[in-house]
Structure 1
Amino acid sequence: MKFNNKNVYVSEKAVIGKNVKIGDNSVIYDNVIIGDNSVICNDCIIGEPLNDYYFSDNYENPKTILEEGAFIRSHSILYAGSSFGKKFSTGHRVTIRENSKFGNNCRIGTVSDIQGYVEFGDNCWLHSNVHIGQQSKIGNYVFIYPYVVFTNDPTPPSNTCVGPTVGDFSQIAVGTVLLPATKIGKHCLVGAQSLVGGKHEDYSLIIGNPAKSIKDVRELKSKETGKSHYPWPYNFSRGLPWEKEGFENWKLKNGYEND
């Protein structure tokens, strides 16, 4: 473990792995576990206590797990009770509230706000300024672009909280709003600035305000090649598990035969 410079606090109840670097002014609270070869940059808080910490003498911080290879950029706050898979990374000033669950190789962009009680699969990429409301469920290999908002209250203000669900390999383009209980299937493309509610089947192209499924996304052609661009994993592999072997070979080895 390496404390890079000054004003670093690490709880005696935290477990820090090998070759972990922690930057200036960062705080690691009770019951945080940080895996090997992770980097916590300046001014970060890992395991931020929940509300009861400030009012209860009997508060015990829930366990927070960052698996190996994490890279948390400056001014990010990860609340207690959350778990993050291998090679989790953030941009700057990211907030992730309690009881969030992330798979492996997820990336969360600068100034994104994850409101807790959410589930992400593996290899999800969120760009900057994304807001994810509670009770949202996101599959594997889902990309969410800037200024997207996932909402969760169908009759605000109320005590009902039903977040959107997004299937594997779907793309949610810039400026989109997903309404409470929206269901997006696998391999879908949601067009920019769409307002989306309801249920949409696999391979849907979803566009508009209010949004509608207008065609099978596999009908869209690439301007460069003239061929179908979707499913996109056949045409994009940078930083993804199939980068070296191609999506067809990878999916057969990893149980995605029907995708």
Structure 2
Amino acid sequence: MNNSIISKNCVIGKNVTIKDGSIIGENVIIEEDVYIDYGCIIKDNVHIKRGTFVGARCILGEYLVDFFDDMKNKNHPLIIGQNSLIRSETIIYGENIIGDNFQTGHRVTIREKSDIGNNVRIGTLSDIQGHCKIGNYINIHSNVHIGQKSIIKDYVWIFPYVVLTNDPTPPSEQLLGVTVESFAVIATMSVILPGVHIYEDALVAAGATVNKDVPKEVVVAGSPAKPICKVSDIKNKISGEKVYPWRYTFDRGMPWNNVGYEQWAKNNPYM
């Protein structure tokens, strides 16, 4: 802990590593087996649960805009779930709740008042603009922008350079977030316009501009996006086998890994 500054009223568990140049603020809780790399800033009211790694030069508990009224940090707690992996130079604002097994790439930004579930991965340089609801087992790849008031449900894939917008008449104060239902896939460089609802198992093709709701199990493509087929019509270009719904053919990183979705779902009837 040489050359680090640690407030007196912190709670630090066993087997915690805090590397040089880090600053730990007031009312911080760091549970056991946490590793904080060089030059991190952990601001007030942050709770880091056990087994988490925080990469170099991260800022956790960043100030909200009300700090600038009087240059005083208000009580905006941040909770980071256990066994998380937060890579270098990520910035996470206060007033967020993040679940277990969370992962970021480098230089991710997460603004305030979001609720993020378990087993969520957010890729390098992605920007979560706050006031969002993000479910479990979500994969958000690099350079993705998630606008305020977005709702992303469980088992969604969002690929690089996707933008979820929220302002129907920019600039305005009337925001309409995008809703993405479970098992949907949004491919690279797609833009989803404000208030659009993408339903379960839908597929948005690469480069699409989506200005209307996407029905369940439908593929849309183009600008503006239009339905082109059902997801069940798509086949693997190499094997010729059906690909979608993807949960029956892909299991890496999913709770049904090495079990199969059908067998797993029998024990999880809520799905």
TM value normalised by structure 1: 0.96
Report how far residue 61 of structure 1 moved. Answer: 2.7
Letter of the 1:173 partner, please give it: A
How much does 1:173 deviate? 0.3
**Aligned partners of 1:175 and 1:79: how far apart in 2?**
26
2:134 paired with 1:120: yes
The 2-side partners of 1:150 and 1:132 are apart by: 5
SS of corresponding position for 1:218 = helix
Aligned partners of 2:203 and 2:220 also within 8 Å: yes
**Deviations 1:100-140, CA, capped at 9 Å, x for gaps:** 11110000000001110011110101111000100000011
- Give the Cα–Cα distance (whole angstroms) in 2 for the partners of residues 193 and 251 of structure 1: 33
Task: Provide the rounded CA distance (Å) in 1 between the counterparts of 2:73 and 2:36.
Answer: 26
Deviates more, 1:6-15 or 1:41-50: 6-15
Distance 2:199 2:51 in 1: 36
For 1:14, the aligned partner's letter is V
Q: Which residue of 1 aligns with 2:89?
A: 75
Contact 1:50–1:61 (Cα < 8 Å) also in 2: no
Contact 2:16-2:32 within 8 A present in 1 as well: no
Counterpart CA distance in 1 for 2:258 and 2:48 is 29
1:27 to 34, 38, 41: 41
Give % identity: 42
* Equivalent position of 1:110 in the other structure: 124
In 2: Cα distance, 1:146 partner to 1:72 partner: 19
Kindly state the Cα deviation for residue 58 of structure 1 after the two structures are TM-superposed: 6.3
Matched residue, 2:215: 201
Q: Distance in 1 between matches of 2:44 and 2:138?
A: 28
Specify the code of the residue in structure 2 equivalent to 1:126: I
1:13-92 to 2 correspondences below 5 Å: 13-56=27-70, 59-92=73-106
Report the AA paired with residue 63 of structure 2. P
The CA distance in 2 between the partners of 1:45 and 1:120, in whole Å, is 21
Following the alignment from structure 2 to structure 1, what is the Cα–Cα distance between the partners of residues 236 and 270?
Answer: 24
CA displacement 1:203-230 (0-9 Å, x = unmatched): 0101110001222111111223322211
What is the number of equivalent residue pairs in this alignment? 257
Alpha-carbon distance in 2 for matches of 1:146, 1:57: 36
Q: Which moved more, 1:70-79 or 1:196-205?
A: 196-205
- Provide the residue aligned with 1:191 in structure 2: 205
Report the Cα distance in structure 2 between the residues aligned to 1:240 and 1:218, rounded to whole angstroms.
21
- For 2:192, the equivalent position in structure 1 comes to 178
| Alignment partners' CA distance in 2, 1:92 and 1:28 | 17
Distance 1:221 1:58 in 2: 57
Structure 2 unmatched ranges of 5 or more? 1-14
- CA distances 1:117-170 after superposition (whole Å, capped 9, x unpaired): 011110101111000100000011111111100100001111111111101011
Cα offset for 1:4? 4.3
Please state if 1:129 is matched with 2:148: no
Partner of 2:7: none
Q: Does structure 2 retain, via aligned residues, the 8 Å contact 1:184–1:200?
A: yes
CA contact (8 A) 2:206 2:221 kept: yes
CA contact (8 A) 1:49 1:61 kept: no
Match for residue 154 of structure 1? 168
RMSD across aligned C-alpha pairs, in angstroms?
1.3
CA distance in 1, matches of 2:109, 2:92: 6
Amino acid corresponding to residue 81 of structure 2 in structure 1: E
